[in-house]
Amino acid sequence: MHVTSLLGWSATAFSMMKRMSSAWRTPARPVRRTATNGRIGHNRRYGEHMYTISAISKAEYWRFLLTHSTATYQQTPEWADARRAQWEPELIGWFDQNDSICAAAVLRYRRIPGTNRSFVFIPQGPLLDWSDPEIADQLAALGAYLSSRGVFGVRITPVVTLRKWEAAAVKAGLANPEVDRLLDIEPTEVNTVGFGLRRTLRAAGWREAPDEKHSDASYPRFNFWLNLTGRTEEAVLARMSKTWRNSIRKAERAGLDVAVGSGEDLSVVHRLCEETARRNDFVAHPHNYFKAMWDALGDDFPGHFNLFIAYQDGLAIAANATAQVGSWAQGVFAAKSTERTNARPSNALYWVEIRQALADGAELFDIGGVKDTLHEEDPAAGLVRFKAGLGADAYEYIGAWDLPLQPQMYAAFTRLLPLYASAAARLRSITAGLSTSRHR
């Protein structure tokens, strides 16, 4: 099949949306302009509270970012630059009546071709205080700001949890044949802020985003976090299961060598990610994705970025990367070859990453998402067992939420996005083979 035929439908689809955009092209809702200490922004008053949202510099953004406890690499200007091929970024800040920055976000714009209309994605953000009683006003200011810029819809994926299950509870659920899902287990903790935020979002017109398997504007609902606060390496080891500790020792006996990776290793990383994708039935990112990642995070990143590669007898068999902002470390990717899995390279890599995170002052290590399954016959439950055995706790996030600012165009876009994402994934699958042949 010719590559262009995979996306042939999109020309018609986006042409339809372009006609819709022209039909709806009314002047943006008037927004009062004010200047505060020389800052020009979009000023909206809601009740007794006033917030000005405006673009801010990279330096301003980082100063705020490092004060926010749940900021991740996804909300950094550097990662936004790495994804610039797909999304056009903008850094914004919320300013209160005293002209003090109280919130910030990286906005990612995806413009509809041939129109002045865009969809905005805010991954793992915005960076608001979600327990603030004025949160509805701050979100309303965001909606007004985006409406003035021709945005027809916005998606947010806040780092806000609903439920927590400690590792021991997850392991007990895995051992119980009557338990099929995390949600079947009584949670260890319930986050009232998260449930309150859901009510606030619904009341303000937000809706839970549709589940889109291939979309790059999605995020896993269930994640595992490893608490490192005040812990030593010995304390972390003690929380691991016996199987996990034995696997670390087995990797050592197998002669596994974990080395720090560099930009010269990206072809190896890409090969391992392709093998992982084929094994788990998803489409790997192309080589240039990893090049952009390294260019953005590998050298001058203000946080920490670590790439580790596991070798046995000189052969690279697994690779993991983490990025850390403040005290929050997060897995960026984990890839493993189909060869020599008995050497336990994943266990060895995670143990090196944990030791590095402790050395870098991390208090939490987000080791990534899982499916909501504990069923013994579901292969995806193996990843749950792996992460719970590490001593990590499971969390349910509030999920992705959309605010339709132009409901008809938003509805058309969200119907087309899964088709576009699926076609783009198939296109990446084809181009990945071409890229691999060039970089071997």
The confidence score (pLDDT) of residue 220 equals: 86
pLDDT tens digits, 100-148? 999 999 999 999 888 899 999 999 999 999 999 999 999 999 999 999 9
The confidence score (pLDDT) of residue 6 equals: 29
414: tokens are: 């969200």
Q: Are residues 331 and 413 both part of a single domain?
A: no
Q: Structure pTM? A: 0.86
Q: Are residues 113 and 185 both part of a single domain?
A: no
Identify the sign of the CA torsion 296, 298, 299, 300: positive
The reply to whether 148 falls in a domain is: yes
Greater model confidence, 222 or 31: 222
DSSP 217-250: T---SEEEEEE-TT--HHHHHHHS-HHHHHHHHH
pLDDT band (50, 70, 90) for residue 429? low
- Sequence-ordered list of residues with C-beta below 8 angstroms from that of 70, at least 6 positions apart, any chain: 127, 159, 328
Q: Which of 68-72, 131-135, 213-217, 361-365 has the lowest mean pLDDT?
A: 213-217
pLDDT band (50, 70, 90) for residue 8? very low
The confidence score (pLDDT) of residue 14 equals: 45
The reply to whether 195 falls in a domain is: no
Average of per-residue pLDDT values in the chain: 86
Domain ranges, residue 218: 161-190+212-397
Average pLDDT of the residues in 43-57: 72
The pLDDT of residue 430 is above 60: no
347: tokens are: 């266990």
The reply to whether 393 falls in a domain is: yes
Average pLDDT of the residues in 27-31: 34
Q: Are residues 132 and 227 both part of a single domain?
A: no
pLDDT tens digits, 135-181? 999 999 999 999 999 999 999 999 999 999 999 999 999 999 999 99
pLDDT band (50, 70, 90) for residue 418? low
The confidence score (pLDDT) of residue 229 equals: 97
The confidence score (pLDDT) of residue 45 equals: 47
The reply to whether 123 falls in a domain is: yes
Q: Are residues 131 and 166 both part of a single domain?
A: no
Q: Are residues 241 and 310 both part of a single domain?
A: yes
- Return the CATH number at 388: 3.40.630.30
Q: Are residues 182 and 143 both part of a single domain?
A: no
CA distance 89 to 359: 32
The pLDDT of residue 23 is above 70: no
The reply to whether 198 falls in a domain is: no
Q: In what order do the strands lie in the sheet with 118-122?
A: 33-36, 39-46, 49-55, 88-95, 101-111, 118-122, 151-156, 401-404, 207-208
The reply to whether 347 falls in a domain is: yes
The confidence score (pLDDT) of residue 304 equals: 95
For the chain, what percent of residues have pLDDT higher than 90?
A: 72
Q: Which of 24-33, 57-66, 296-305, 413-422 has the lowest mean pLDDT?
A: 24-33
Q: Are residues 246 and 390 both part of a single domain?
A: yes
Q: Are residues 297 and 424 both part of a single domain?
A: no
Q: Are residues 183 and 315 both part of a single domain?
A: yes
The confidence score (pLDDT) of residue 213 equals: 57
The pLDDT of residue 318 is above 60: yes
Average pLDDT of the residues in 349-377: 96
Q: Are residues 216 and 71 both part of a single domain?
A: no
288: tokens are: 């240039």
Q: Are residues 85 and 173 both part of a single domain?
A: no
The reply to whether 355 falls in a domain is: yes
Number of domains the chain is built from? 2
The reply to whether 203 falls in a domain is: no
The confidence score (pLDDT) of residue 402 equals: 96
Q: Are residues 135 and 146 both part of a single domain?
A: yes
The pLDDT of residue 436 is above 90: no
